[in-house]
């Protein structure tokens, strides 16, 4: 017997997604950054740092101006989290270590890695960690061969392979450098095992993704931890997620061009109400890292332009979407010049009349970001529409930093 499919309005689905991601309702400050990590299940890492690195921007967007040292300690103060390949390179709650056994097994069975390591190089790294304790790649003998950034040394290749296979884990960083340790020593005893079957790993990860997103299509669920469509399909019926039909979520999936969508039962139990955050989002924020999902939910098209040649950029190197009132109202490309936060390009959605209503939210978000990173002034260089430049500049002057 087929269960009934629950209809959802598009606005309701949007609010459910925001609440699930910790961006609607009262922030859980007692749980802090670790609570954000557990709730999201994955926080993407990236080397780009403008206002801050992306893993710092995630809790900031949800909790406000949380101390940056507190963020680092929450991720890398021991056996609370580890780094692994999920949506991308991510910080993950240590409780998820067993759930990635399926991926570690897949890496072990894939055969040649494309790097010819000298005989004994892999075992040498493990032996050194066993004898000397946690070490960076530099401590192990050096990460580079002296060429371009990707010209890794044999030691670096070996320890990264060990990380993927699960012999080694990173639960700490030191000056942005990974600190490697033997997984058998760093992962808590109750979690250090690969006993879950592939099906159970997938079932739990899909359920976790569903809870973190609130409501999602099967493609959304697959993207969260970068699973295949077939993997999601094989376990979706056992996750506890319930089928929903979201108005307006039309697309290529399912019959009649309608996306097959699923919701977390807990997300449906109470109406999604509460305080909305006004904040700037990292392009790698899990609310918006899936571009098709972002367009479907918010009607907002966003692309990271950091790797686009400068003349071809539309919005800027690291433009950060502006979230306010549960909607994406525009974006800003920030920079820091001493103690001045510079809005190199503040772009609003819609024409001048609609965009003008978003000026207070943009000024509020810029002011909070400036306070967080220790800036005392804000300068607006450029706006879209251009006629809003003076109005935004005047508004940020009125805002208390």
Closest listed residue to residue 214, CA positions, set 392, 2, 97, 41? 41
Query: DSSP of 156-218, one letter per residue?
Result: HHHHHHHHHHTSEEEEEEETTEEEEEEHHHHS-TTT----S-HHHHHHHHHHHHHHHHSEEEH
Examine residue 323 and state whether it is found in any structural domain, yes or no: yes
As a whole number of angstroms, the distance between CA 8 and CA 214 comes to 12
Closest listed residue to residue 107, CA positions, set 44, 69, 179, 163? 163
What is the structure's pLDDT at 57?
97
Examine residue 374 and state whether it is found in any structural domain, yes or no: yes
pTM above 0.75, yes or no: yes
Examine residue 268 and state whether it is found in any structural domain, yes or no: no
What is the structure's pLDDT at 77?
85
Name the helix (H) or strand (E) containing 108. helix 101-109
Query: DSSP of 318-348, one letter per residue?
Result: T-EEEEETTEEEEEEEEEEETTEEEEEEEEE
Examine residue 330 and state whether it is found in any structural domain, yes or no: yes
What is the structure's pLDDT at 146?
54
Closest listed residue to residue 68, CA positions, set 33, 104, 108? 33
Token representation of residue 341: 């936060």
What is the structure's pLDDT at 114?
60
Examine residue 322 and state whether it is found in any structural domain, yes or no: yes
Q: Please write the tens of the pLDDT for every residue from 177-221.
A: 999 999 999 999 999 999 999 999 999 999 999 999 999 999 999
Q: Do residues 247 and 7 lie in contact, with contact meaning Cβ atoms separated by under 8 Å?
A: yes
As a whole number of angstroms, the distance between CA 292 and CA 382 comes to 28
pLDDT under 50: residue ranges of the chain: 1, 149, 254-257
What is the structure's pLDDT at 149?
45
Examine residue 119 and state whether it is found in any structural domain, yes or no: no
Q: Please write the tens of the pLDDT for every residue from 57-74.
A: 999 999 998 888 889 899
Examine residue 152 and state whether it is found in any structural domain, yes or no: no
Paired with 263 in beta bridges are: 215, 242
Q: Do residues 5 and 261 lie in contact, with contact meaning Cβ atoms separated by under 8 Å?
A: no
**Contacts of residue 326, Cβ cutoff 8 Å, sequence gap at least 6:** 14, 15, 18, 23, 24, 276
**Given the structure tokens 């109400």, which residue do they identify?**
273
Count structural domains, the chain. Answer: 1
**Given the structure tokens 């493609």, which residue do they identify?**
219
Examine residue 365 and state whether it is found in any structural domain, yes or no: yes
Domain of 341 in residue numbering reads as 300-398
Q: Please write the tens of the pLDDT for every residue from 113-125.
A: 666 788 899 999 9
What is the structure's pLDDT at 1?
39
Q: Please write the tens of the pLDDT for every residue from 336-348.
A: 999 999 999 999 9
What is the structure's pLDDT at 168?
98
**Contacts of residue 2, Cβ cutoff 8 Å, sequence gap at least 6:** none
The length of the chain is 401
């Amino acid at each position: 017997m087929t269960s009934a499919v629950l209809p959802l309005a598009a606005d309701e689905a949007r609010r459910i997604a925001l609440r699930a991601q910790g961006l609607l309702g009262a922030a859980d400050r007692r749980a802090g950054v670790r609570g954000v990590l557990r709730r999201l299940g994955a926080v993407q890492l990236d080397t780009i740092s403008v206002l801050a690195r992306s893993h710092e921007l995630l809790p900031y967007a949800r909790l406000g101006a949380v101390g940056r040292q507190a963020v680092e300690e929450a991720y890398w103060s021991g056996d609370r989290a580890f780094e692994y390949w999920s949506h991308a390179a991510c910080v993950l709650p240590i409780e998820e270590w067993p759930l990635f056994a399926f991926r570690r097994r897949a890496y072990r069975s894939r055969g040649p890695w494309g790097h010819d390591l000298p005989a004994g190089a892999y075992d040498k790294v493990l032996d050194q960690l066993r004898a000397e304790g946690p070490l960076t790649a530099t401590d192990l003998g050096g990460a580079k061969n002296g060429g371009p950034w990707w010209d890794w040394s044999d030691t670096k290749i070996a320890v990264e392979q060990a990380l993927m296979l699960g012999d080694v884990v990173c639960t700490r960083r030191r000056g942005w450098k990974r600190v490697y340790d033997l997984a058998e020593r760093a992962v808590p005893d109750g979690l250090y095992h690969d006993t879950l079957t592939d099906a159970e790993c997938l079932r739990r990860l899909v359920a976790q993704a569903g809870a973190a997103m609130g409501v999602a299509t099967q493609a959304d669920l697959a993207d969260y931890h970068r699973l295949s469509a077939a993997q999601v399909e094989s376990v979706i019926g056992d996750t506890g997620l319930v089928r929903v039909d979201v108005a307006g979520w039309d697309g290529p999936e399912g019959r009649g061009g309608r996306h097959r969508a699923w919701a977390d039962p807990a997300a449906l139990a109470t109406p999604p109400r509460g305080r909305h955050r006004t904040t700037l989002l990292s392009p790698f924020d899990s609310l918006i890292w899936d571009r098709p999902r972002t367009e479907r939910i918010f009607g907002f098209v966003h692309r990271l332009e950091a790797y686009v040649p400068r003349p071809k950029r539309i919005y800027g190197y690291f433009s950060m979407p502006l979230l306010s009132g549960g909607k994406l109202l525009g974006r800003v490309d920030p920079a820091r010049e001493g103690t001045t936060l510079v809005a190199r390009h503040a772009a609003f959605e819609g024409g001048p009349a609609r965009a003008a209503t978003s000026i207070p939210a943009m000024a509020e978000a810029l002011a909070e970001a400036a306070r967080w990173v220790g800036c005392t002034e804000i300068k607006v260089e450029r706006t879209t529409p251009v006629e809003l430049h003076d109005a935004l500049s005047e508004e940020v002057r009125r805002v208390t930093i």
